[in-house]
Amino acid sequence: MLNGLIWLVTEMGLGFYNIFYALTHPGLWLDWSNKESLIRFIYYGGSQEFFFAVLDIFIVLTVLGIIFRKFMWAMVRGLEGFANFIGRLAAWAGLIMVGQQVIIIFLQSIFRLGEITLSPLGIGFTYSLTWYTEGLKIWNAAVVALCVSYAFVQGAHVRVDLIYAGVSHRAKKVIDMFGSLFFMMPVAVLTWMYSWYFLWRHLITPKVSASDQLDLMLRKARIVKWNVERTGFSPDGFNAYFLFKILILAFVALVFLQAMAFFYRSFLEFMEGEESQDKYLDRDTLGEGEEAYEGTH
């Protein structure tokens, strides 16, 4: 147990060092014209070092928030505002998806066209209707992945309540804090670790793995090259499936940030009592008289 504690303290200390070193040597991991820099970016993006760097940042922000209550409220408002902004923007993908489906049916059923040419800003590109049909999935995925934290802020998720409604205000906040720290964050971290390499295995060759050590990956840098996934389910179907992998990472990042916001809000509402319930919470409204339906749209 003592060895484990020493290891934890050592890794947390190294986390601060790694943050400082990465910020002062950006060329080592951001200069993708150098293949070794690209490999370092890939390795550290899903590494133990990255985990402890994020953990250190979270701990520092939490300590500062406990000392300066206004700073913690500012973080809550900022994180929830960011979630709302991304969600409200991404929600328009649903309208785009419906419009695209209508256009596909209209052109295919009435004009019997086999392809569509679009020329935004004078730059034209032509794809088959099959490409646009399969491409509908990316809009649906964008809504799901990018609106997840927005839906959480709005209280729109489906919940099964067995004990929560009957307990006191402070007990609810303890449950919320526990859920944020021991459910939302660990699941987000674990999913990130798997999804990170899942993405990069479809972007470069030779394939990389979470079990690869940095030395081995740097040796691979000599032969690494871009190999972006371009294979669709049909010969002329949608061929940008790597975008789904990017959306998975965006989904996980938004969940983690929302877990931070929810933990901070729960802590502040625990400390300040019931009068702080939903303080600064920016929720959409359907209008006067529609309160019963809010949170379900």
Q: Point out the least confidently predicted range of 86-95, 156-165, 201-210, 286-295.
A: 286-295
The mean pLDDT of 204-214, rounded to a whole number, is 88
What residues does each domain of the chain span? 10-85+167-232+239-280, 92-146
| Position 235 pLDDT exceeds 50 | yes
Helices (H) and strands (E) in the chain, counts: 12, 4
> What ranges in 68-207 are assigned the alpha helix state H?
69-90, 92-109, 129-146, 148-154, 169-179, 185-200
What is the model's pLDDT at position 297?
47
165 or 47, which is more confident?
47
The DSSP output letter for 122 is: G
DSSP 3-state of 95: helix
* 66 and 135 Cβ atoms separated by less than 8 Å: no
| Position 43 pLDDT exceeds 60 | yes
**How wide is the angle at C-alpha 89 spanned by C-alphas 88 and 91, nearest 5°?**
65
pTM of the predicted model over 0.85: yes
Phi, psi at 115, each rounded to 5°: -155, 160
pLDDT tens string 97-131: 999 999 888 888 887 777 877 777 777 778 888 88
Residue 36, CA atoms < 13 Å, CB-side half-sphere = 9
Task: Classify each residue of 154-165 as buried b or exposed e, where b means 16 or more C-beta atoms within 10 Å of its C-beta.
Answer: bebeeeeeeeee
For residue 158, what are the CA distances in angstroms to 79, 84, 297?
A: 22, 18, 11
* 54 and 20 Cβ atoms separated by less than 8 Å: no
**What would the two tokens of residue 147 be?**
């609106």
What is the model's pLDDT at position 287?
59
